Amino acid sequence: MHPLDTATALEPLPDGTFRGHTSPAYANLVGPFGGVTAACLLNAAWLHPARLGEPVALTVNFAAAPADGEFTVSARPARTNRSTQHWLIELRQSGEVMTTASAVFAVRRETWSMPEAGPPEVPAADTLARSSLVRRPPWAHHYDMRFVMGGMPEAFDAQLQPDSVTRVWVRDEPPRPLDFISLSALCDSFFPRVFLRRRKFAPIGTVSLTTYFHADAALLRAQGEQPVLGTARALNFRNGYFDQSAEVWGAGRQLLASSHQVVYYRD
């Protein structure tokens, strides 16, 4: 079993909720890697017997860092229409809400389709070296990252940088076929923009993460275990919060996901 599948595994309970367990493989500095928590909440809707279609949008609000150990996840369809379904999802520990999420699922039909943006021109993944894992938290060891630009600074020398742009080839480590679960986790795998911009460490924490899925299950399946190209940047850092927008591009240059988050930082 892939460590991501272990980390996002949910056991159905008699009351319709699910039981999960944090995974040391995806630990962060404090609590679990947010991407895996997001994937876990998505998985609760995905596994739910009332599910309609596939995810189009997922918003995860990180209210508190879950402690190591068990948690429960409840997912309920707030409304089911003919082709769309709206989910409300909560992760609790000892009865307390640690994470909330909403998701929109949909049955997609073929329509006129057209990209507007394309991926940047970058060297192929296999021409780049895998990023160092020295001083990286456990979760980062479960991604193979090959940076074109904007990797974690080699030194926190407090030299302010002009931007926080990242371009990185990334895949699960060990390799795992791409699906909605792994894609939703991967969308949170970009290092905090404030570390890149300031080359300075600061306590940070994502407070809200939204991912739009532009791909359906068939397009994700076609990616297999190939690396995907991630791009990320910030617009603004102001009084304790910065934003990040990221795109994830597939091997065929398709946009698989676009993802946005707002992150708390301490000075």
Residues that bind its own copies (CB under 8 A): 56-57, 59, 61, 63-64, 78-79, 81, 84, 86, 88, 90, 96-98, 100, 102, 104, 106, 108-117, 160, 163-164, 193, 197-198, 207-208, 210, 212, 214-216, 233-241, 243, 245, 247, 255, 258, 260, 262, 264-267
> From CA 180, how far away is CA 38, in angstroms rounded?
11
What minimum distance in Å lies between the beta carbon of 233 and its own copies?
7
What minimum distance in Å lies between the beta carbon of 3 and its own copies?
29
> From CA 136, how far away is CA 147, in angstroms rounded?
15
Closest CA to 210 of 56, 95, 68, 79: 56
What minimum distance in Å lies between the beta carbon of 102 and its own copies?
5
What minimum distance in Å lies between the beta carbon of 263 and its own copies?
10
Query: Please, which residue, 109 or 135, has the CB nearer to its own copies?
Result: 109
Closest CA to 61 of 264, 230, 248: 264
Q: Cβ–Cβ contacts within 10 Å for residue 204, how many?
A: 17
Query: Please, which residue, 135 or 266, has the CB nearer to its own copies?
Result: 266
What minimum distance in Å lies between the beta carbon of 65 and its own copies?
11
What minimum distance in Å lies between the beta carbon of 35 and its own copies?
17
Tell me the three state secondary structure of residue 140: helix
Burial-class residue 89 by CB neighbours within 10 Å (0-12, 13-18, 19+).
Answer: buried
Query: Please, which residue, 115 or 224, has the CB nearer to its own copies?
Result: 115
What minimum distance in Å lies between the beta carbon of 153 and its own copies?
16
Tell me the three state secondary structure of residue 81: coil
Query: Please, which residue, 4 or 73, has the CB nearer to its own copies?
Result: 73
> From CA 267, how far away is CA 264, in angstroms rounded?
10
Burial-class residue 178 by CB neighbours within 10 Å (0-12, 13-18, 19+).
Answer: buried
The single-letter code of the amino acid at 266 is: R
Query: Please, which residue, 63 or 222, has the CB nearer to its own copies?
Result: 63
Query: Please, which residue, 173 or 243, has the CB nearer to its own copies?
Result: 243
CA gyration radius, the chain: 18
Query: Please, which residue, 23 or 206, has the CB nearer to its own copies?
Result: 206
Per-residue b or e along 213-239, where b marks 16 or more CB atoms closer than 10 Å to that residue's CB: bbbbeeebeebeeebbbbbbbbeebee
